[in-house]
Amino acid sequence: MTEGHTLIEVSGLAKDYGNGGSGIPVLRDINLRVHKCEMVAITGPSGCGKSTLLFILGLFLSPSKGQYLFEGENVLVLKRSAQAQFRRNQVGFVFQSSELLENSTVYENVEFPLIYAGVSRRKRAELITSALELVNLRHRIRHPANLLSGGEKQRVAVARALVNRPQVILADEPTGQLDRKNTQFIMDHFRKIVNRSDTALVVVTHDPEVAARCDRVYSLDDGILKEV
Ligand SMILES: Nc1ncnc2c1ncn2[C@@H]1O[C@H](COP(=O)(O)OP(=O)(O)O)[C@@H](O)[C@H]1O
Ligand SMILES: [Mg+2]
């Protein structure tokens, strides 16, 4: 197990979707620590709150209570604009359903977070090409997204999450539509990126092979996260 520098430290985190604590609790008491250069898997039954937890880690959603430190900084109290900056610069998110811009090309889809982050055109071209090489899709660079297969779309979504060299990649079932070969390929690349660039990966998965390739595995059940 990697005992590197702590990147993420979550304690006593809870979430319910009602207002004013009247809703049904989804996350009840989450404690999670993720180190740099570490790959962590989160497993659990459908509807148990895995996506909710990833959204909170990416600051796409606020918890009902609890603490979240990122490199020792309490990111939950950041202003809206600073939270947006955190999402742009520190986080690479792979959504469960890929969420590509269907009428745009592969290139434009991967370019999107870079434009948002103010990266120059020349630098964008360089970063996009290397991200697409990482997911074995260089040959599809000018392809419209709506003509890709499900697996190719997932790989574009992975490239888009990697392209701005984030400190943490939050991936929601990123291999759910991939065959074994492409799953292994993506996991190998996650490992390379994590080793090379101080990045951490938190991956939600149903696939035991994906979990087995991570450094630590947590299971989420009944609102509680346990290391397995
Ligand atoms: N925006 C929302 N409003 C109300 N309930 C929600 C919302 N999003 C998710 N839920 C509920 O919270 C629970 C956890 O959802 P989710 O985090 O998507 O689970 P998982 O990713 O593990 O399948 C589910 O019961 C789901 O129906
Ligand atoms: Mg989910």
Q: Kindly give the distance from the C-alpha atom of residue 74 to the centroid of ligand 1, in angstroms, as a whole number.
A: 25
Residue 162 CB less than 6 A away from ligand 1: no
Is the pLDDT at 130 greater than 80? The verdict is yes
The residue whose C-alpha atom lies closest to atom 3 belonging to ligand 1 is 17
Q: Kindly give the distance from the C-alpha atom of residue 98 to the centroid of ligand 1, in angstroms, as a whole number.
A: 18
Which ligand has an atom closest to residue 26 CA? 1
Q: Kindly give the distance from the C-alpha atom of residue 118 to the centroid of ligand 2, in angstroms, as a whole number.
A: 30
Which ligand has an atom closest to residue 30 CA? 1
The residue whose C-alpha atom lies closest to atom 11 belonging to ligand 1 is 47
Residue 43 CB less than 6 A away from ligand 1: no
Is the pLDDT at 142 greater than 70? The verdict is yes
The pLDDT tens digits for 51-73 are: 999 999 999 999 999 999 999 99
pLDDT value of position 124:
98
The pLDDT tens digits for 163-175 are: 999 999 999 999 9
Residue 1 — pLDDT band, cuts 50, 70, 90?
very low
Q: Kindly give the distance from the C-alpha atom of residue 47 to the centroid of ligand 2, in angstroms, as a whole number.
A: 7
Residues with CB under 5 A from ligand 2 (ion): 51
Residue 26 CB less than 6 A away from ligand 1: yes
pLDDT value of position 2:
42
pLDDT value of position 20:
59
Residue 4 — pLDDT band, cuts 50, 70, 90?
low
Residue 36 near residue 198 (C-beta atoms within 8 A) = yes
Q: Kindly give the distance from the C-alpha atom of residue 48 to the centroid of ligand 2, in angstroms, as a whole number.
A: 8
